[in-house]
Structure 1
Amino acid sequence: MAPLRGWGPRGKRLRGFAPHGRWRTLTFLGALRCDKLTAPCVFDGPINGECFHAYVRQQLIPTLKPGDIVILDNLGSHKAKAIRDAIRAVGARLWFLPKYSPDLNPIEQAFAKIKHWMRQAQKRTIEETWRHLGLLADTIKPEECANYFSNAGYASVKT
């Protein structure tokens, strides 16, 4: 990811390297608990129902416990019956956010921080980006996670 802005000497043009050509899409998925970011996964390309179902089966389900609440936005691939059934089968509850409500989704704040760090790192290859994302997922502290939930209106979260 290229930085959005920068600093340079007054009166001098700021120059930075930004790759040209065909852009590739990477999709980062994860689950936010009140104490950590869990089940991180990167897909090479945009997300679709099949990719999201694979993520839920292989990454998310093993981290869930009975009584957990999984909050999803209204993306079409999140609403598949197989996904709902798989999450409920482990004893977790499923809540869908209202339309157009990213401020109620605490993981959006964590993702904004990760994107900021990615722009600062300026990784230029897919492999470097994947490695760096893996490192960043572990740097989000428990108190930050609790703050994301509190800021999104889930004030009863305690760590």
Structure 2
Amino acid sequence: MGYRKYNPGTKIAAVQMLAQSYSRPSICEALGFSISRQSVDRWMQIYNATQRVIRDPSEYEKRGPTRLLTTEDRVFIKELIRCEPGLAFMMKPTTLLSLATLHRNLVKDMEITLKKANTVNVRKSLVAKNIFVESMATVPADYLVFTDESSICSKDLLRNFSRSTKGDQADRSIIDPNATQFTLIPAIGFNGLLALTVTNQNVKGRNFAHFLKYALLPQMNRYPDINSVLVLDNARIHGGERIVEFCQNAGVKLMFLPTYSPELNPIEMCFSQVKSDLRRTQALVGCANSNWEIERTTYWVISASLCHKLYKHAGYNCPEIDASDSDNDDIH
């Protein structure tokens, strides 16, 4: 007879009737079930041993093969991966565990999975980052203005995927192998783009100072007010007495991000969004005026809605935004 599952109430009633000297056939007739002698004997055995009819699942013997890795082995592997997360699996003639077994133990038993690695600079200071985050906790997000530079070139923005028939290689063509490289310098506030310039020259300290003095600072306010705090990273062209002097003359408070902390700079994601759109549309391929096309795309992509999301994602003290006042731009 195959295995049959009985509900707990049936088991309890059967054991109670057996204790009252009812026979097995009469129990089956009363309960309306055909219960084997082996089942009745097993229920009585559990009752006599534990004074319970339903056995505690934690007392069941574990089925299946025994673990090949001991607790000490798993602790060692976890510590090894913590110290060297990029270790690769290698099969050798003297291997004690197959790759499948090791993978199964990592994923199912230790919940350790393989992921795309996030690059972290070893010189990044978490102490400096935490101090900066704490200092910004009470600063309204709409006070903050971020600016930075990013290079853009059409040959670096080709689509990553192409289509072809099965069995054939999918190609992509570089239309202009000597394409001009541009530098995009935007400045964003909580409510969108404040200033923008695109140049095909290498941006040096004097170029950034010119952008700051004539394009950005006239759009900012004296501290404390909306758009009155300029936040820069620690690039060399962002330093110098000239930058500090311009900000002081404009009444703008100047702050610097901790080193190697791009996650605190919302404009980094803006660059990613602009390049993603240029790659998607291939707007720079064969374009007669690439400078204008980059500016047009930047103005279209960096909306107030996007800035709201990026400021909040970076952890700044953002005010509540009415959904009806925000457009429906999504991060793509």
Q: Same fold (TM over 0.5)?
A: yes
Q: CA deviation at 1:138?
A: 2.2
- SS of 1:120's equivalent in the other structure is helix
Residue matched to 1:6: 161
- SS of 2:258's equivalent in the other structure is coil
Corresponding residue pairs, total:
158
Structure 1, unpaired ranges of 5+: none
Which entry has the higher C-alpha Rg, 1 or 2? Answer: 2
Output the amino acid matched with 1:105. N
Between structures 1 and 2, the one with greater strand share:
1
Q: 1:24 aligns with which of 157, 180, 183?
A: 180
Q: 2:290 aligns with which of 113, 119, 129?
A: 129
Q: Does 1:71 align with 2:231?
A: yes
**Residues 119 and 84 of structure 1: is their aligned pair in 2 closer, same or farther, counting only changes over 3 Å?**
same
Q: 1:144 aligns with which of 299, 306, 321?
A: 306
**Residues 101 and 127 of structure 1: is their aligned pair in 2 closer, same or farther, counting only changes over 3 Å?**
farther
For residues 103-128 of structure 1, what are the alpha-carbon distances to aligned partners after superposition, in whole Å with 9 as ceiling and x for unaligned? 11110011110011122232136753
Contact 1:27–1:44 (8 Å) recurs in 2 = yes
Q: CA deviation at 1:88?
A: 2.2
Q: Which has the higher relative contact order, 1 or 2, with Cα contacts under 8 A spaced 6 or more apart?
A: 1
**Residues 126 and 46 of structure 1: is their aligned pair in 2 closer, same or farther, counting only changes over 3 Å?**
farther
**Residues 64 and 98 of structure 1: is their aligned pair in 2 closer, same or farther, counting only changes over 3 Å?**
same
Q: Distance in 1 between matches of 2:297 and 2:177?
A: 27
Contact 2:188–2:194 (8 Å) recurs in 1 = yes
Q: 2:217 aligns with which of 55, 58, 61?
A: 61
Q: Does 1:118 align with 2:278?
A: yes
Normalised by the length of structure 2, the TM-score is: 0.45
Contact 2:234–2:259 (8 Å) recurs in 1 = yes
Contact 1:38–1:63 (8 Å) recurs in 2 = yes
After TM superposition, the structure 1 stretch with the greater mean CA deviation from structure 2, 81-90 or 8-17, is: 8-17
Output the amino acid matched with 1:108. E
Residue matched to 1:38: 194
Q: Distance in 2 between matches of 1:120 and 1:157?
A: 31
Q: Distance in 2 between matches of 1:126 and 1:152?
A: 35
Contact 1:8–1:14 (8 Å) recurs in 2 = yes
Contact 2:183–2:201 (8 Å) recurs in 1 = yes
Contact 1:25–1:46 (8 Å) recurs in 2 = no
For residues 41-62 of structure 1, what are the alpha-carbon distances to aligned partners after superposition, in whole Å with 9 as ceiling and x for unaligned? 0121221111111111121111
Contact 1:24–1:45 (8 Å) recurs in 2 = no
For residues 32-75 of structure 1, what are the alpha-carbon distances to aligned partners after superposition, in whole Å with 9 as ceiling and x for unaligned? 11111121101212211111111111211111111211110001
Q: Name the % identity.
A: 23
Normalised by the length of structure 1, the TM-score is: 0.89
Q: Distance in 2 between matches of 1:103 and 1:45?
A: 27
- SS of 1:31's equivalent in the other structure is strand
